[in-house]
Structure 1
Amino acid sequence: MLVDREMTKTEMREALGLSSSTLAKMGKNEYVSLEVIDKICSYFGCTPNDVIEHKKEQEG
């Protein structure tokens, strides 16, 4: 979506009012709140399935 809008991650972060730590978590595939997912979906006009992927935790 960023590529389609010719937008950088930093521009998205600023437009949505996200912290740099939230952006870092997203880049590391770490947990981000549903509030953040909602902001992204509202901004881009998409659904959560377009933004996130559920992966089953590996048992170890």
Structure 2
Amino acid sequence: MITYKPLWKTLIEKGIKKTELREMVGFSSGTLARMGKGQYIEMKHIDKICQILNCEISDVIEIDRSSETN
């Protein structure tokens, strides 16, 4: 499962609020809500976040192996 924990940490480090990110990147509040729930968002949004924040994809998402089922 994908988690956005690295993004929330990156935003704190850069002093950017989630709503500010939404406006900067140009996605909907629904997309932001899905991210908050750890749900899938389109890769184009992740790419744009990386461009806007000048960061790597690992600063935005990671795989949460603890939530995997066998």
Question: Could you say which structure has the higher helix fraction?
Answer: 2
Question: Could you say which structure has the higher strand fraction?
Answer: 2
- Which residue pairs with 1:19 in the alignment? 28
d(CA) in 2 for partners of 1:5, 1:18: 19
In our comparison, the structure showing a higher alpha carbon Rg is 1
d(CA) in 2 for partners of 1:58, 1:35: 28
Counterpart AA for 2:47: D
d(CA) in 2 for partners of 1:2, 1:48: 13
- Which residue pairs with 2:42 in the alignment? 33
The TM-score with structure 1 as length reference comes to: 0.84
Structure with greater contact order relative to length (CA < 8 Å, sep ≥ 6): 2
- Which residue pairs with 1:58 in the alignment? 69
Sequence identity, in percent?
A: 46
Report Cα offsets for 1:3-59 as digits up to 9, x if no partner.
222221111101110100000011110001110100110011111111101135324
Q: Give me the CA root mean square deviation.
A: 1.3
Tell me how many residue pairs correspond in the alignment: 59
Structure 1 runs not aligned, ≥5 long: none
